[in-house]
Amino acid sequence: MKKQKEIKKIPAIINCDPGIDDAIALIMAIKSDLIDVKLITTDLGNVSTEQAGQNTLNILELIGADDIPVACGEGKCLEIERPRVAVHGKTGLGSYVFPKNSRKLLKGDAVDIMYQTIMAEEEKTTLICLSPPTNIAKMLLKYPDAKDKIERLVFMVGSIEQLKRGALPYAEFNVAGDPEASKAILKSKVKLEIVPMEMGHTAYLDWQDVFKTKNMNFVGSVLENLYREYKDRHVKNGIATHDSCAIAYITNPEIFKVEPVKVDIRYYDKLGTGVFVMNFDKTPNALTCTEIDIKKFKKLYFKMLKKCK
């Protein structure tokens, strides 16, 4: 019999705020043959950290991945609290009612647990951030020795769109939610790879994809139910896929065009709304995706769904 090639999985920690597109991303990461999700931490973003924690447990239960530990963050921005617009329904996962879940969140703060998980791992850990990065910034500030054990930070954040028109870019949610945390991350010099807003707006799911999702299996029918309340106003005829693009970038980098970029955080109004300013002509301090192959991304999405029940 032909011996199957052993695939080495990438040890990863996901910091997120489920969130409907976060839910797809979690499923995609867990169902992938390439990512070993060691820990999920929740941050202040689409909903409170506790609600995001409960939502994460519900998603894990839905796909039978109830052995992955989940820890909540403190729920306070690094320096200044920021207003947030809710676009994922009341609970963060539309109004779908998940069955009662007896699993508990880990005791203790996400920042300490993230650090312990990174240090306990023999290999370097890949951090994946799908929300404002408050927990990650706090961890890097509290435990600077963690940096040497971090392979890279793949961050769904920012926008490149409006730079071309000479104006400041759109205040994407994950940077605007805690710009000081993003600043601390840039300062830490951790290896940063950005998956900006344009990816999830380009590779959105149209209504035909949503229909196919619904009829695929039970998990698909739950996702379709969640999609009914996802209100990303940039996508008029379908569902934005932001956070799952970050997972696709890790598992299938060949479907993206990537360019070196110089990133700075700027504030553009009196409220201190933060944006990522990406400059392609200056000495780079990060990489950013600039294009995505829509067809191949959708293929990955349905491949992930096929692995569910």
Residues that bind ligand BDR (CB under 6 A): 19, 21-22, 46, 87, 130-131, 156, 172-174, 197, 242-243
Q: Which is nearer to Ca ion, 146 or 247 (CB)?
A: 247
The least distance separating ligand BDR from the CB of residue 81, rounded to whole angstroms, comes to 17
* Contact present, 150 and 190 (Cβ < 8 Å): yes
* Contact present, 159 and 276 (Cβ < 8 Å): yes
Site string for Ca ion, 282-301 (x = CB under 5 A): --------------------
- Determine the angle formed by the axes of helices 218-227 and 207-216, rounding to 10 degrees: 140
Q: Which does 244 bind (CB under 5 to 8 A by kind): Ca ion, ligand BDR, none?
A: none
Q: Total number of residues binding Ca ion (CB under 5 A)? A: 6
Q: Which does 198 bind (CB under 5 to 8 A by kind): ligand BDR, Ca ion, none?
A: none
Q: Which contiguous run of DSSP H or E holds residue 179?
A: helix 179-188
Amino acid at 206: D
The least distance separating ligand BDR from the CB of residue 158, rounded to whole angstroms, comes to 9
CA 26 to chain centre: 8
Give 181's Cβ-side CA count (13 Å radius). Answer: 28
Which residue, among 245, 249, 247, 268, has the nearest Cα to 258 in the 3D structure? 249
State the Cα–Cα distance between residues 232 and 245, nearest whole angstrom.
15
Local structure of 300: helix, strand or coil: helix
- 242 belongs to the catalytic site: yes
* Contact present, 284 and 262 (Cβ < 8 Å): yes
Q: Which is nearer to ligand BDR, 235 or 287 (CB)?
A: 235
Site string for Ca ion, 6-45 (x = CB under 5 A): -----------x-x--x-----------------------
Cis ω for the linkage preceding 108 (within 30 of 0): no
Q: Which does 36 bind (CB under 5 to 8 A by kind): Ca ion, ligand BDR, none?
A: none
Residue 56, interface with Ca ion (CB under 5 A)? no
Q: Given the structure tokens 């990065």, which residue do they identify? A: 133
State the residue number with the nearest CB to ligand BDR: 173
Site for Ca ion in 226-285 (CB under 5 A): 243
Site string for Ca ion, 131-150 (x = CB under 5 A): x-------------------
Q: Which contiguous run of DSSP H or E holds residue 21?
A: helix 20-31
Which residue, among 262, 305, 249, 5, has the nearest Cα to 129 in the 3D structure? 249
Q: Which is nearer to Ca ion, 240 or 287 (CB)?
A: 240
Q: Which is nearer to ligand BDR, 77 or 115 (CB)?
A: 77
Q: Which is nearer to ligand BDR, 109 or 232 (CB)?
A: 232
State the Cα–Cα distance between residues 139 and 9, nearest whole angstrom.
24
Instruction: Give the CA distances from residue 43 to residues 133, 266, 277, in Å, rounded to whole numbers and listed in that order.
Output: 7, 22, 23
Q: Which does 87 bind (CB under 5 to 8 A by kind): Ca ion, ligand BDR, none?
A: ligand BDR
Cβ neighbours of residue 158 under 8 Å, at least 6 residues apart?
169, 172, 174, 175, 194, 196, 197, 263, 275, 276, 278, 288
Annotated catalytic residue, options 88, 201, 234, 242: 242
The least distance separating ligand BDR from the CB of residue 100, rounded to whole angstroms, comes to 25
The least distance separating Ca ion from the CB of residue 120, rounded to whole angstroms, comes to 26
The least distance separating ligand BDR from the CB of residue 9, rounded to whole angstroms, comes to 24
Give the residues lining the site for Ca ion (CB under 5 A). Answer: 17, 19, 22, 130-131, 243
Catalytic residues: 242
